[in-house]
Amino acid sequence: MKMTIILIVAILLLTGIVIVVRASHTGEKAPASGTLAPDFTLNAQDGKPLSLRDFRGKWVVLYFYPKDFTSGCTKEARNFQQDIALYEQKNAVILGVSVQDERTHQKFCAAEGLSFKLLADTHHELSARYDSLVNLGVAKLSARHTFLIDPSGVIRKVYLKVDAAKHSAQVLADLSELQKASPQT
């Protein structure tokens, strides 16, 4: 009995190690702070295409997340939604990106009462361009990364280590600091 348990634990550990080893980013480098944000056009949950250039003149919180309806992603989205009025006061919009399709995003928005746009990166191109694609071997997901983009389209802050529970508050604080430093934006 003990040997069976030890064998099962060993198999689970080895399987976990294989999954961790196989999880990797695309190898591209994430766009850096101070560089022009790569433009894109993707469909939102309503099926309509949106481009980054559509938001010139506004701050953009471009956040990548793994999957609709998971605990961390739900918490992060709820916090952005809870703070939506504060973002609007700061002339900022929130755009979420994952590799799931419009239909799944639409269901997630309806279930969680989200009023901001979720973009469907079903071909993984945008996630790859922002070095926010994780290859798990059997599946590819967007990584939990965020890019804070100023009204002229320049990336001002890059978040590659995100705590879903605290992220919206952190982005709001950084946005306030950036706007104080550059009041014309």
Of the candidates 23, 7, 31, the residue with the CA atom closest to the CA atom of residue 134: 23
Catalytic residue positions, numbered? 73
Distance of CA 116 to the CA centre of its chain: 13
Query: Which SS3 state, helix, strand or coil, does residue 164 take?
Result: coil
Distance from C-alpha of 92 to C-alpha of 51, rounded to nearest angstrom:
15
Query: 54: how many CB neighbours lie within 10 A of its CB?
Result: 14
